[in-house]
Structure 1
Amino acid sequence: MKVILAGYPKTGTKTMAAVFTMLGYNNYDYLENYFYLHKEWLKIFDGSATNEDIRKMFGDVDALTDTPVCLYWEELHQAFPEAKIILTTRDEDSWYKSLMKQLESANSNFLLWMVCVVSPQSILRLSYNYHTSGRFFGDLSGWPSCRLRPYHEKVQRALYRQHNYSVMKKAPKDKLLVYNVSEGWEPLCEFLGVEIPDKPFPHKNKDAALIKEMTENNKVMQRIILEGVISLSVVTVLVGYAGYRFCESDTCSKLVSWVSENVNLFRKGDSI
């Protein structure tokens, strides 16, 4: 493990994921952690994971970004004490505004909602998000809503400040870089001890475009969506078949006769 990103979501975490990939690092972001290591993360959540367990989880991973990494950066660094820590920061007002816009975008996205409801991963996602998004945003509504409801603004801002303060106080000073993505390549590459790439510094998830970017470019997200579409197709076929069998049954015939008789009685009563 080379670097652990301890910055909160909406402080440039998707930009940093792109940066690490450009630097040749094998990076695990939220989706990779959730999709590939869901069961292993549950052990970290309940405190039963050992340092050896964590090292096995990320044996071939160079960098970690986004939730739940930022919430459990201490546990991760205990397992990988040689790793460097980057705390991405952002002006609090712009951070909060961007956070609310991201939530609004996610909660109003029909495709994402459908995947969460019908995908086999949906139940796993709820248990996982209880410890990640639920802890970070406040309240995660259950299936079939699967919506995120944030804390009160003052609480959300206080959590942001407290997190940044905690990282700056607890992280080893020789391992820590407090960084804003607007600073570009130079301070970051100097800290990591790598050459500056001959490419423009990336800027991802502008204007809460994360969902669109992930569905178009992220293989894990595309796989989750495919599972959701397949599940929805199977459910549709099963419901259609069940409806067909019901219509062919004696129960259906009796129900139709009963409805017809009662409709006729109602009409007679209406005409009196």
Structure 2
Amino acid sequence: MVEIIGAGFGRTGTASLKRAVELLGFDPCHHMSEVLKQPSTTVQWTTALNGDPSVLPELLRDYRATLDFPGCLLWREMMDLYPSAKVLLSVRDPKKWYDSARATILSPIRNENIDQNLAALLAPFSEAMASRGFRRDLAEADMIAVFNKHNETVRAAVDPSRLLVYEVSEGWEPLCAFLGVEVPDVPFPRSNDSASFRDNVTKIISGRAQDMAT
């Protein structure tokens, strides 16, 4: 059962936050990396993004938390499905977010090893995310406006008692207080900076392409 609904866009520290919430016991946590490891799930995610959330309970059956894309685009639907779940809106300075996103998630990964079947799965999935506002063809000012509007909408719609607006630079204390757990005696995770992002995605996609070809 999902207990944490991540409403923040990717590149707001969600890779670090995934490790953090899992260390706090909310394991496993769904993240875009899970989609890349299990590309067949893009079919169901595309269905949900296109307006049919009935597939979400099966998709998220084994997860206790969600973060990043594509779940952050379905935060309203998840709030209805999991009325006791808390909403975690990870945020970042908009300009820094855009610069990081442009170098990573807004820049298509081109890999000669990508299997055609995998590419066929990812294309409608990307289109469905674009229909929800996450488009790669927008200019900087327009993309930042999308980012800001998303965050403002979440802030306005979610009851403050159910919502944490959070930057990963804040560390353990506000996160643990919000989730009602003790602060662990380990450093807060730091991972997946822009420099390593593309290599990580390429490795995952290449691996999946090889699996699908065998």
Aligned length: 210
Point out 4+ residue stretches in structure 1 off by more than 6 angstroms.
none
Instruction: Normalising by structure 2, report the TM-score.
Output: 0.86
The residue type equivalent to 1:127 in the other structure is P
Q: Does 1:125 align with 2:106?
A: no
Q: Higher Cα Rg: structure 1 or 2?
A: 1
1:231 CA displacement: 6.5
Match of 1:156 among 129, 137, 143: 143
1:122 CA displacement: 1.5
Cα distance change, pair 230–33 in 1 and its aligned pair in 2 (3 A): closer
Match of 2:49 in 1: 45
Cα distance change, pair 134–55 in 1 and its aligned pair in 2 (3 A): closer
SS of aligned partner of 2:122? helix
SS of aligned partner of 2:87? strand
Q: What percent identity do the matched residue pairs reach?
A: 30
* Cα distance in 2 between the residues matched to 1:186 and 1:22: 14
Deviations 1:15-69 (A, max 9, x none): 111112222321111132462532322331232333xx42233222101111111
Q: Does 1:23 align with 2:21?
A: no
SS of aligned partner of 1:209? helix
Instruction: Normalising by structure 1, report the TM-score.
Output: 0.69
Match of 2:192 among 205, 208, 211: 205
* Cα distance in 2 between the residues matched to 1:230 and 1:77: 35
Cα distance change, pair 231–190 in 1 and its aligned pair in 2 (3 A): closer
Q: Does 1:180 align with 2:178?
A: no
Superposition CA RMSD, Å: 2.4
Unmatched tracts of structure 2, length 5 or more: none
Give the structure with the larger helix fraction: 1
Cα distance change, pair 100–226 in 1 and its aligned pair in 2 (3 A): closer
Partners of 1:87 and 1:176 within 8 A in 2: yes
Unmatched tracts of structure 1, length 5 or more: 139-148, 235-272
SS of aligned partner of 1:85? strand
Structure with the larger RCO, 1 or 2 (CA within 8 Å, 6+ apart): 2
